[in-house]
Structure 1
Amino acid sequence: MMTWAPQDTDATNKPGMPAMALAYAKWVNSHGGIHGRRLEVLTCNDHNDSVGAAKCARRAAAENVVAVVGSYSQFGDSYLAPLEGAGIPYIGGYGVTNDEFTGSMSYPVNGGQPALLAGLGKALAAGCGNVALVRPDSIAGDQLPALLDSGLKAGGHADAGDQLAAEDATEYAGQAEQALRYATEDETKKGCVVPALGDRTDTFMDSFRRARENFPDVRTATVLGSVDQTVINATGGASGPYEGAYITGWYPVATDPRWDPMKKVINEEAFGDNRIDPADAGVQTTWIAYQVLRAALEKIGDGEVSADTVRRTLNDGLRVSTGGLTPTLHWPYEGKLAAVGFPRLVNADVTLQVVRDGKLVAAGKGIGGSNGIADMTSTLEHADVP
């Protein structure tokens, strides 16, 4: 197998994902392997650029890996073609690109940005006045308003104000002010500002923190792809700009007992490795992705293990239980969301979390659904995606 992620770059870094993959392989191997076979994990740094991503994919093909598992890369157009050419399945990517929800070799375990934004829209519909969305001026960014609006509409709210921002800006004072002006136009109801700028969300929040002093109070909210516990810690925790913010996530909160098996593996094989934070959505995604791989290998049993047999096993209706961290996963040729352009999106569950005392915790008021988990499939079916 191979697991890749950006490390030591100036933007997004996910060192916990390859580290989690290595810890899991070590743990499996120390417990006799899978059907007596050892797991061998190769790791690769995609350096957060398209050249690095393509290089990792070509290396995966050259090394005859049976699957790329639990990886993060923003450059789907660079890595999916070489993987598809070699017939290598891409299991449980972070869900950061739309390619992961369209490519026939992709087996996503979460609903990516589409599910998170639809869920956030639904959560904000009841309590927000004007909602300002600040998003990248890019092709990927152009899809975000429709996704957020699908959730707002489902909750009976008007569309969000759509504000474009450069993806590589070093400050966002102008955008912060514009967002605040729009969000505070309706004095009868507290407005909400939603930055969805990926790794630049922090930079925006820095400008926003300074600008908000001149405006009435607003609520902030964002999605897990832009902010997770590691980001909250790095920006000052309880005294940082995210305190009180709503954040939609894919999985139960990190303190949920359903994560105990993962924590056990981390404690046994990677104790003291500070790259692996059990609250990091990347680490969690890698864990779930390896559960899928394990299920496929167990199904193959004593048969031949290759990229082809793993892919065939996944395509032949394999159903994977992840211990309640996701619904039972399986990948029909075309899922329910094929009509809106996401044929591979099979798990649209989201959870609503809030930053309280610097920690992401389950929000008291959910988005509906049972145990704080809501399925966004029907909301996304009505999304007007460009």
Structure 2
Amino acid sequence: MTGRLPSTRNRIVPRSHIRTAAVLLSAALVAGCGLVPGDAKGAGERPVTVMTWAPEKTKATNMPGMPAMARAYARWINAHGGIGGRPLKVLTCNDHNDSVDAARCARSAVEHDAVAVVGSYSQHSDAFLPPLESAGIPYIGGYGATDAEFTSPLSYPVNGGQAALLAGNGRQLSGPCARTVLIRPDSIAGDQLAPLLNSGLALRHRPAAVDVLAADDATDYADQARRALDTASRAPQGEGCVAAVLGERTNTFFDSFRRLREEYPSVRTATVLGSVDQTVVDRSGGPESPYEGAYVTSWYPASGDARWAPMKRAINEQAFGDNRIDPADAGVQTTWIAYEVLRQVIESIGGGAVTSRTVRTALDDDLSVTTGGLTPPLRWGYDHMSPVGDFPRLVNARVTFQKVVSGRLKATRKASVDVTGTLAGLS
């Protein structure tokens, strides 16, 4: 997570002023951001233009499935009559995990008259949000990678971000774990993780997690794994647990962990969505992977849940064989949900003009959006803002508890868990 925006803008600058400056960079932006239109087909109707961005082909976090899912969604919805009867045009952009490119993506959205940015990932909210806010373009269903996505009045998140995952993981571990060790990045963003996890552990009066710091770009975590296992194995009563939250480096940590695990058979493991998913479990050995038996907290139902069937049908119909689109990937799932939000917003507008303003107005006017049970009904009206002081836009603080059993992520309880109260206690 990145730092919060110090404030959000209330003044809307005329889009034409921004477009005048942006058009001078048009050719460079199209080439640098990799803008690709979806297959929008319609007779006479003006296309609804939106943008999806994410980092691709970088040395850090990559989310190629998100723009790929967006383009597949456009092909699928257009093949079935369009979005609210209108053709959908999807533009995509690569932010390269770079603040300059993130800002360029946002300016491109302004230049191309995008009515929204949908189902995207970027760690650089301080770069992309100001251009969107100035132009009045809503940011629908971001991945939740930054705190600002839960404070900006133009952000409409569909999940609870890192905050909900960590608080939820603490609640999940508060039952079985007498002592928990947290492996997290030695960074400003990492400093936020321990208090969130501890808020959940406190539910059953468990002690605060032992905080073990690790470089987020290391190639070996043997020292941290040894310390964590040794500490967790000395839990006074009950199980000791090691929770690793290192993003893409979590798998590197568990490689080191695997080599030492046999010496500490009683220690359990845990992590959260974004650090592991079904694909990572499969790739690291399935039932023989170091994740076997791990407690995992997620925003959404497990990938094998029947509620994902519509998304899987759309992928099979329009993106069969595209290995960038993994139905078990949280980024792909978030993009699907975000576009389903957009579909219902456009349908609610009816025959009226679809602009960034009318989309924003529909969202602010307390429209209730359903996602087939993948999330609770979503509403972003003023009366539905979150009581969590630091995250007023966190309208969905529900998480699901899962466990890796025989190499598969499986739900440990039928109902999702609302961690709003847990997070509110931190404010």
Deviation of 1:346 after TM superposition, in Å, equals 0.4
Q: Could you tell me how far 1:186 is from its partner in structure 2?
A: 2.2
Structure-1-length-normalised TM-score: 0.93
Contact 1:334 1:344 in 2 (8 A): no
Q: Distance in 2 between matches of 1:292 and 1:60?
A: 19
**1:92 paired to 2:135:** no
Write the distance in 1 (CA, Å) between the matches of 2:295 and 2:271: 6
Does 1:31 find its partner at 2:31? no
Aligned partner of 1:382 in structure 2 is: 425
Amino-acid identity (%): 62
1:21 to 42, 47, 70: 70
The one of 138, 143, 155 equivalent to 2:187 is 138
Matched, 1:80 2:129: yes
Question: Residue 21 of structure 1 aligns to a residue in which SS?
Answer: helix
Q: Which structure has the higher relative contact order (CA within 8 Å, separation 6+)?
A: 1
How far did residue 250 of structure 1 move? 0.9
Q: Is the 8 A contact 2:367 2:381 kept in 1?
A: no
User: How far apart are the structure 2 equivalents of 1:338 and 1:188?
Assistant: 36
The answer as to whether partners of 2:84 and 2:343 remain within 8 angstroms in 1 is no
Instruction: For residues 306-337 of structure 1, give each alpha carbon's deviation from its aligned partner in whole angstroms, at most 9, with x where no partner exists.
Output: 11111111111111011111111011347554
Equivalent of 2:409 in 342, 360, 374 = 360
Which runs of no fewer than 5 residues in structure 1 stay unpaired?
A: none
Cα offset, 1:213, TM superposition: 3.7
Displacement after TM superposition at 1:44 (Å): 1.1
1:93 is matched by which residue type in structure 2? G
Match of 1:344 in 2: 393
**Residue 140 of structure 1 aligns to a residue in which SS?**
helix
Q: Are the equivalent residues in 1 in contact too, given 2:179–2:206 (CA < 8 A)?
A: no
1: CA distance between counterparts of 2:349 and 2:384? 24
- The answer on whether the counterparts of 2:278 and 2:409 sit within 8 Å (CA) in structure 1 is yes
- For the Cα contact (< 8 Å) 2:166–2:193, is it kept in 1? yes
Q: 1:372 is paired with a residue of what secondary structure?
A: coil
| 1:378 alignment partner AA | G
Shift of 1:339: 4.3
Q: State whether residues 338 and 344 of structure 1, in contact with CA within 8 Å, keep that contact through their aligned partners in structure 2.
A: no
Structure 1 distance, partners of 2:130, 2:387, is: 20
CA deviations 1:65-98 (Å, max 9, x no partner) are 1111011112222211222122111101111221
Provide the rounded CA distance (Å) in 2 between the counterparts of 1:282 and 1:94.
Answer: 7
Question: 2:37 is matched with which residue?
Answer: none
1:9-38 superposed Cα distances (whole Å, 9 cap, x missing partner): 223222111111111111111112123310
Equivalent residue, structure 1, for 2:220: 171
**Residue-by-residue CA offset, 1:178-206 (whole Å, 9 max, x unaligned):** 21222122253220001111111112112
Tell me how far apart the structure 1 counterparts of residues 364 and 385 of structure 2 sit (CA, whole Å): 16
Q: Distance in 1 between matches of 2:385 and 2:187?
A: 27
Q: Between Structure 1 and Structure 2, whose CA radius of gyration is higher?
A: 2
SS at match of 2:239: coil
- In 2, the alpha carbon distance for the partners of 1:372 and 1:338 equals 22
Alpha-carbon separation, structure 2, partners of 1:160 and 1:176:
15
SS at match of 2:192: helix
Amino acid at match of 1:287: W
Amino acid at match of 2:289: G
Amino acid at match of 1:100: E
Residue 92 of structure 2: aligned partner: 43
Which runs of 5 or more structure 2 residues have no equivalent in the other structure? 1-49
| Cα distance in 2 between the residues matched to 1:115 and 1:308 | 30
Partner residue in 1 for 2:35 = none
Q: Which residue of 2 aligns with 1:184?
A: 233
User: Do the aligned partners of 1:192 and 1:221 also contact (CA within 8 Å) in 2?
Assistant: yes
Aligned partners of 1:333 and 1:99: how far apart in 2? Answer: 17
Distance 1:292 1:101 in 2: 17
Question: By how many angstroms is 1:217 displaced?
Answer: 2.7
Contact 2:241 2:270 in 1 (8 A): yes
Structure-2-length-normalised TM-score: 0.85
Distance 2:285 2:134 in 1: 45
Distance 1:141 1:315 in 2: 33
Indicate whether 1:147 and 2:196 are aligned.
yes
What does residue 3 of structure 1 align with? 52
User: Which digits, 9 at most, give the CA deviation of each residue in 1:193-227, with x for residues without a partner?
Assistant: 01111111112112222233443531110100211
Contact preservation (8 Å) 1:246, 1:355: yes
1:287 Cα deviation after fit: 0.8
Letter in 1 for 2:419: M
Q: Which residue pairs with 1:275 in the alignment?
A: 324
Q: SS of the counterpart of 1:74? A: coil
Instruction: State whether residues 229 and 279 of structure 1, in contact with CA within 8 Å, keep that contact through their aligned partners in structure 2.
Output: yes
Deviation per residue, 1:111-153 (Å, 9 max, x gap): 1111111111111112112100111122221211111111111
Alpha-carbon deviation of 1:294?
0.8
SS at match of 2:93: strand
Aligned residue-pair number: 378
| 1:307 match | 356
Whether the 8 Å CA contact 1:334–1:343 is kept in 2: the answer is no
In the superposition, relative to structure 1, how do residues 116 and 272 fare at CA in structure 2: closer, same or farther (>3 Å)?
same
CA RMSD of aligned residues (A): 1.7
